[in-house]
Amino acid sequence: MTEPEVKKKPKTKGKAIQSDPLKVKVICTLMSFFAAMPSFVGSGFAKLFAMCSRLFKTRAYSTSMMNLNLCLLDKAPSERKRIAYESLKHTGKLFFEASKIWRKCQGERFIGSVKGEDKVRDCLEQGKGVLITGAHIGNWEVALYYLGSRFPFHCMYRPPRQKEMDEVINVGRCQNDTTMVKGDSRGVMHLIKVLKNGEVAAVLSDQEPGRRAGVFVPFCGKDALTMTIVQRIQQKSGSDLFQIAAIKNEHGLYDIHLIPIDIDSEQDEVSYARDVNGHLEAVIRQNPEQYQWSYKRFKTTACGGPNPYQQ
């Protein structure tokens, strides 16, 4: 008898895309539940999430503390713990708010004041595209909704591990004039094309890229592998660069901040990446409780050493 042929799974870069319809159905059910609930339910869930994370020392809490111990050495240990708790509470509330936006198309209800839109429109009126970058601070779903509700908007994203979730994300974010494009070569070419046509595009630049697609520069005081794709897109499109942040105010709404980043796109990659990180860091240090510290930003080390989050 011959051995049955075993089909090998194709090799993929990074984590493999999986099919998990049951998991996605549970997520969608929770989102529908939160979308129908009043605000106090979301606040209660967020507080419970943060308390349980701290009590049981979950991965999210441990990662947050690791990042804060690396990045905010000027803060006392007790202050770092407070920021970690507040950050996780803020993260827990994001799921509730994203549910309202994706399921009920209620993004407008979360927007407070808007600062800097006139400068973006000035660029567009001159026929120049506007490339927007930012970090996972405040509520990026509100920021994306805002951009798609005001401009023909194109956003680069990293597809989720569950392939069924990809459709959920695209439907949720593309309610208005938003087009989502994957972070591959086709996506890059798409953004360059629309920017040359005088439209608006965005790339969140605080995510860790592949080693070949980034350079190591300081981020909140710690060297981090930082993507170079923002510079490449700006160079090839001739667009102007802005930073966006949707920061929660004392009334529970998110103020939209559109800040011009005036840097030379023709400088070397390290200098450019350092300048962009400096602008992101300034906003993060002003609002550390609203930054997603639970993201493993420093997994890859410049020396090729072990992942600090596994120690």
The predicted pLDDT at position 311 comes to 66
Residue 225 gets the label, from left (phi > 0), alpha (psi -120 to 50) or beta, of: beta
Angle, vertex CA 309, rays to CA 156 and CA 279, nearest 5: 45
The predicted pLDDT at position 104 comes to 86
The predicted pLDDT at position 38 comes to 94
Q: What percent of the chain has a predicted confidence (pLDDT) above 90?
A: 80
Alpha helices in the chain (DSSP H): 21-36, 39-55, 59-71, 77-104, 117-125, 140-150, 163-173, 185-196, 229-237, 269-286
Domain boundaries along the sequence of the chain: 21-302
The predicted pLDDT at position 209 comes to 95
Instruction: Report the range of poorest mean pLDDT among 8-12, 77-81, 100-104.
Output: 8-12
Global pTM reads 0.91
Residue 307 has pLDDT above 50, yes or no: yes
Give the pLDDT confidence of 55-70 residue by residue, as tens digits: 999 999 999 999 999 9
